[in-house]
Structure 1
Amino acid sequence: MEVMLSIKPKATDLIYRLTLIVLITLVSACSIVEKPNLKQLSSNRVEEFKSKDELIDYVSNVSALINYRNTKEREHFKELYVDDIERIQVTGSRVDSTFSSITNNQVNGIDEGDIVKVSGDYLLILRQGKIYSVRLSEYGAGEFNLPYEIDVIQPGWGKDVWYDELLVVEDIVLVLGYSYSLDASQILRFKINDNGVISYKDGIAIKSNDYFSSDNYASRLFKGKYLTYLPVELIANRSGELNDLGVNIPKFARLNSSNADNLIWEEIVKPSDIYKPNQIVTDPILHTIITCSPLSENFECTGKGVISSNNYEYFVSQSAFYLWTYALPKSLVTDFNFDENWNTHYESTATSHMSGDSKLFKLEHLSQQFKVVDVDGVPVDQFSFYESEGVLNIVSVNNPWSETKEKAQLFQIPKDEFDSSSKDRIMPSRIWYLSPNYINNRFVESWLVLGYYADINGGYKSKASVKPQFTLYFKSLNTAEDLNIELGHSVDRIETVGRKLFISGIDTDFNFNVSIINIENKPFLEGSGVFEDFLEHDTRSHAFNFAQFDNHFGVAGITAYNKVNNTGNTLLNDFYWEENVAANIIFFGLAGGYEVIKAGEVKSHAKQISLADNCEVSCVDWYGNSRPFFINDRIFVLTGDELIESQLVGNQVEEIKRINIKTKSY
């Protein structure tokens, strides 16, 4: 059977943080520009710039390409422009054996930034610009003390800051945020003492664009090192006007409560830390990886970067940071009809059989040196990557400038294939030719698992408008074996629960479904359940969690909301700011056999938040505000401002007590 796949909507297609950047290009209609020399726009090797002058020369050449494209565009569409005002473009802004985490992480041993973490005896919650600590371990079930809290933003810093991700190493609490007043990301350190009191220690601001992604997370913690991905638009003036040429090289400033108005900006990334592009890109991004030592006295951080396309996906394994980028084919870079942001090109003529330019960069944790291979297509998301025994497995679909028929490819790349220069293009180990649809994907042990998700996020949908596809596809990583399992629903979520898979989605009656796939030997459908009263609220990885309570019974939790009415018309809240409300938590009992049961529901009493401060400090829950999580044999729920503990009684999760962390009331 032929599989039908496509790409999920990318985070770069969203208007991050609802920030509007209006770029007005003032280019004379009668300008005469020469076609740029493309040989100066890419390097055959992954090597560092030798000086700032060499970097500026590169930026000058890219600006000439941008200027050429803008001028040709104006000449072609001159009837659309009035009074020398060009088109307005809207863009996005803004393990060791002791490792443990309450976050549903992608890779074992690598903790990902989230809104809930544990530090010793304390549960830490990042919520609307505050960190709350709640002591848990000295009390029995349902008994936790009133929380201690601290403002993340320090006095005198100013506002317009969003704090999104929390990580913990020993007694150091790390917070990642983005400041629009500084146009910089912030990495802040706090210290938590034995009494749960949190105090600000220090922090740094790093000039960058906003790191926010709708499905990936910017920060990781691995073997005591803190790693953050930050994108930087390389050209300060993106119009291509050389007389206004500027180069954005990330600088950092140390933060404390007294110097916010007089920051001293220093180099964190030098030209010699920046690798030359292996692609011709019309909108260059400096993909920057910041690595910090959280336990160092002076909070030491370093940076590395590589210039590449503004279409990308990244993944962090136990050995390296991987960056997949994809750009226009060389034959189209001087054609103004086409843009690297492939959703915005004006025409689609002459695109058949043209291959885009895809690169996979690897920054090893130990060597801190970039290497590269040539690849093909684009990954679906970060779950398209899986590293095992020195081999990087990746699934990609064809890029938007190639064949009109979709194609999926499995790449299996040994670590010694990466080099300082692009060799022959890496050939896929398996290829499928496809018809377009939305794809979900996950690597699980020796299988690549594929399915279709129902595109229902972001508004009102009726049953008639949703046509999910129900086959779950298994592709062997070691052989040519294919295995298909027919489900009764779409594949909106793929999660591992021990040696099984938790697959959820909707059926044609708009009901929520769960299927459990046993993968111990040959995958088979072990159990399922159909639920009519609710749909999943947030399908990102961190909104799911699972715990095995004994050999026979496991509990999984999701965020959910009730259907609006019985006609099938449903308001989907998702994480959009207009519906910034907390979700309920549904628990499922997984006991084997043929039935997945509803094991309880924790309803949120939280109300929509007030925007009285004009939404200046973390007032929108861009990463969600509701989580199920487990600490040993205790079951917790965060939903908005409410922290709720439940317990397992028989095969049901029953609420014990809740506390409002903001009002400190039970």
Structure 2
Amino acid sequence: MSSVLKITLILSLLLSAGSHAADTAPRKTLAPFASEQALSSYLQQLQARQEALQKERQKLQRATAQSMSAAPAPPAPILARAAPAPSAEAAESVTNVQTAGVDEGGIVKLHGKHLVMLRRGKLFTVQVGGNALQPVSSLDAFAPGSDPSGSWYDEMLIDGDTLVVIGYSYSRGGTEIGLFDINADGKLAYRATYHLRSNDYYSSRNYASRLVGSKLVFYSPLSLNLRRGDPFGGFPALRRWRPDAVPSDFKRIAPATRIYRTDEEPEPGFGLTLHTVTVCDLAQRDMRCEATAVMGPQGRVFYVSGESVFVWTTRRGSDSGVFRIPLDGSAPSALKVAGAPVDQFSFLESADGHLNVLLRAEGQGDAMWDGTRGRGDMALLRVPLTSFSDGRDSAPASSYKALPGGGYGLQNRYVGAYLLYGNPGNGGRRQADQAWPRQPLYAVRWADARSVQALSLPHGVERIEALGNDAVVIGAQGKDLHFSSIRLGAQAAIATRYIRADAAQGESRSHGFFYKPHTASDGVIGLPILGADERPGSSRPAASVLYLRNSGLTLTELGALAARHGPAPDDGCRASCVDWYGNARPLFLQGRVFALLGYEVVEGVLKEGQIREVRRISYAPIASAVR
């Protein structure tokens, strides 16, 4: 199916009227290894094949070297390459999540009447309830007595009075999970730290952790080293940290009977990865975790719905596979597919029992900064969840709809009945005698994909977000930042545009944006921005948060809350001293408006159509106290 994205594909089946699939169970599931011995034997076979391949390569290299002086070297063999209605609690969420009911690890959360921030290796609480704005507590985000050097503390989640910090430790080699208690007064107390064996989870677009009810969910890739003396030493395992912790403290959490594979044999010479979904129960004080793993190639993008984790793996060219791993621990299922998604926003598990995925012909997954590097033809895949099976079946050609567009840095988002996508273009650059280049925003109804609209924008597509059932597209035109509201009715149409002169986005991650609806057609947008003298490399590298009112898709400026300029505080940072996940967020709480700006929380009030600052606090630690 490697060329399936390059041919004309027939339309997907239309949705039947009012259909909502009652049964989304796969027809078959993957089979696990029957025993530890069966798994060990399989790994030994793989190792033998790799060693034989290595010997053949060495033999070829020697023969090539010997013939260099006699004749030009023959062409090297061609090897396959790796393809580059909400509750009251949800209404007060401060995280711009992709899927309702699935919280995502972030740098700021809400616990009762307190904001909780994770920044530069420390946790902080600030009271906001009762019209207060007051720092309360701070604590290291790592275990007392542990060495945090070589560790990054990136994400935070809260379940009841349990606060979870997710990090990655290069020195200890895996995902670090810190558990803390938080009480009604905002006081923090350390409980325990666990280490989950994994490779680095970082993605410039995705988040490593999710919270579904009281289930803490991780996706972790684990590259298998078959040459090590104990191949099981790289398998999913968990240990509780103690000062004298040793590698033997790790205990397997994915036995052979929870490890699965398809009928696809690993590509010779290319890595084999255990794509692992770990579910931990936070309802117990002593965290218990179980893992399910599937074997596949290295490239991956993952998406978490309310019931499953979907992991898309990529091998030769556009030949791929997608795994559906249920959160309840039941057996995974799989489907052979083509192409590669851009990132997690390329997926939608729709209420009609289908998986919808925007694809490019080639991609490398979304690890690190790979999410921007896909290329080639585009298509929309739409398959019933019931078509997932034991991995032997392929999605039929009729499941793909060829789409126009592409380009570097593609952005995509499902909003209501539409899939919207576009790319930043060239950032609005032009020659002196040229008009501003226009960029297309593509809009397609994902349920039938009968036709694709191309809306012409005078700016790039750097961000796509929902405004209720409509959307806003944000991007640059030269030195200016544009906000275009998009009406999504029977047809998609550009409604209005707001332009912020001499500005750029201050945050590229999805959590940097927040929309607070007041009615179905009215609400407030918040987004961190950088002014002309606040860009990287300038003398004033600080962001402000811009607020816009949406009134029937007419966007008007309310004003901005800005960081106080001046030297950064000496916080005595010991770990995670770079804000990889950003440091600015718009916050809307109990009818109040805030901006998180580094170590400052600024409160504003809307008066006479303008946001005005009323107070601010700094929660920065004092370096002398830290040391």
Specify if TM > 0.5.
yes
> 2:107 maps to which residue?
115
Q: Which digits, 9 at most, give the CA deviation of each residue in 1:79-119, with x for residues without a partner?
A: 9xxxxxxxxxxxxxxx9845512100001111000000011
Map 1:78-93 to 2 at 5 A. Answer: none
Secondary structure in 2 aligned to 1:416? helix
Tell me the amino acid that sits aligned with residue 228 of structure 1: F
Tell me the amino acid that sits aligned with residue 235 of structure 2: I
Map 1:3-22 to 2 at 5 A. Answer: none
Q: Which digits, 9 at most, give the CA deviation of each residue in 1:352-406, with x for residues without a partner?
A: xxx53200100112353210001110111111101112111111011269xx993
Change (3 A) 1:236 1:587: farther
Tell me the amino acid that sits aligned with residue 382 of structure 1: Q
Secondary structure in 2 aligned to 1:422? strand
> 2:275 maps to which residue?
287
Question: Within 1, Cα distance between the matches of 2:614 and 2:456?
Answer: 39
Question: Within 1, Cα distance between the matches of 2:429 and 2:457?
Answer: 21
Which of the residues 141, 145, 156 maps onto 2:134? Answer: 145
Change (3 A) 1:435 1:53: closer
Cα deviation, residue 606, structure 1: 6.0
Match status 1:188 vs 2:173: no
Cα deviation, residue 183, structure 1: 0.4
Q: Which digits, 9 at most, give the CA deviation of each residue in 1:299-352, with x for residues without a partner?
A: 111111112111110000112100001102xxxxxxxxxxxxxxxxxxxxxxxx
Question: Within 2, Cα distance between the matches of 1:69 and 1:527?
Answer: 63
Map 1:60-139 to 2 at 5 A. Answer: 60-61=47-48, 63-64=50-51, 67=54, 71=58, 97=87, 99-100=89-90, 101-138=93-130
> 1:39 maps to which residue?
none
Question: Within 1, Cα distance between the matches of 2:606 and 2:56?
Answer: 63
Which one is further off, 627-636 or 262-271? 262-271
Change (3 A) 1:102 1:450: same
Match status 1:375 vs 2:337: yes
Secondary structure in 1 aligned to 2:249? coil
Cα deviation, residue 198, structure 1: 0.9
> 1:27 maps to which residue?
none
Cα deviation, residue 252, structure 1: 1.4
Which of the residues 225, 246, 267 maps onto 2:252? Answer: 267
* Contact residue 182 and residue 207 of structure 1 kept, 8 A: no
Q: Which digits, 9 at most, give the CA deviation of each residue in 1:439-493, with x for residues without a partner?
A: 221112222112122466xxxx966599864221111223313323222211111
- Relative to its length, the structure with more strand (as a share) is 2
> 1:587 maps to which residue?
547
Change (3 A) 1:579 1:546: farther
Map 1:328-347 to 2 at 5 A. Answer: 328=316
Question: Within 2, Cα distance between the matches of 1:580 and 1:376?
Answer: 47
Map 1:387-466 to 2 at 5 A. Answer: 387-389=349-351, 390-399=353-362, 406-427=376-397, 428-432=399-403, 436-454=407-425
> 1:82 maps to which residue?
none
Which of the residues 615, 619, 623 maps onto 1:657? Answer: 615
Map 1:240-259 to 2 at 5 A. Answer: 248-256=234-242, 258-259=243-244
Q: Which digits, 9 at most, give the CA deviation of each residue in 1:574-606, with x for residues without a partner?
A: xxxx9996522122222236x533321222226
* Contact residue 157 and residue 165 of structure 2 kept, 8 A: yes
* Contact residue 454 and residue 506 of structure 1 kept, 8 A: no
Task: Return the TM-score normalized by structure 2.
Answer: 0.81
* Contact residue 454 and residue 505 of structure 1 kept, 8 A: no
* Contact residue 463 and residue 510 of structure 1 kept, 8 A: no
* Contact residue 385 and residue 395 of structure 1 kept, 8 A: yes
> 1:501 maps to which residue?
471
Secondary structure in 2 aligned to 1:662? coil
Match status 1:306 vs 2:280: no
Structure 2: any 5+ residue segments left out of the alignment?
7-27, 67-84, 365-373
- Percent identity between the two aligned chains: 27
> 1:36 maps to which residue?
none
* Contact residue 416 and residue 470 of structure 2 kept, 8 A: no
Q: Which digits, 9 at most, give the CA deviation of each residue in 1:41-91, with x for residues without a partner?
A: xxx983323324134325414633763586378559969xxxxxxxxxxxx
Which one is further off, 70-79 or 523-532? 70-79
> 1:162 maps to which residue?
152
* Contact residue 236 and residue 246 of structure 1 kept, 8 A: no
Match status 1:558 vs 2:527: yes
Which one is further off, 426-435 or 295-304? 426-435
Question: Within 2, Cα distance between the matches of 1:418 and 1:388?
Answer: 15
> 2:368 maps to which residue?
none
| C-alpha RMSD of the superposition | 3.4
> 1:201 maps to which residue?
191
* Contact residue 163 and residue 178 of structure 1 kept, 8 A: yes
* Contact residue 452 and residue 469 of structure 1 kept, 8 A: no
Cα deviation, residue 543, structure 1: 0.8
Task: Return the TM-score normalized by structure 1.
Answer: 0.76
Change (3 A) 1:133 1:405: closer
Cα deviation, residue 275, structure 1: 1.4
> 1:599 maps to which residue?
558
Question: Within 1, Cα distance between the matches of 2:497 and 2:59?
Answer: 57
Question: Within 2, Cα distance between the matches of 1:77 and 1:117?
Answer: 60
Q: Which digits, 9 at most, give the CA deviation of each residue in 1:628-661, with x for residues without a partner?
A: 1211311111111111111222322211111111
Question: Within 2, Cα distance between the matches of 1:648 and 1:186?
Answer: 41
Which of the residues 48, 53, 60 maps onto 2:32? Answer: 48
> 1:359 maps to which residue?
321
Aligned residues: 558
Map 1:220-239 to 2 at 5 A. Answer: 220-235=210-225
Secondary structure in 2 aligned to 1:217? coil
Secondary structure in 1 aligned to 2:459? coil
Secondary structure in 1 aligned to 2:234? coil
* Contact residue 29 and residue 332 of structure 2 kept, 8 A: no
Question: Within 2, Cα distance between the matches of 1:173 and 1:584?
Answer: 28
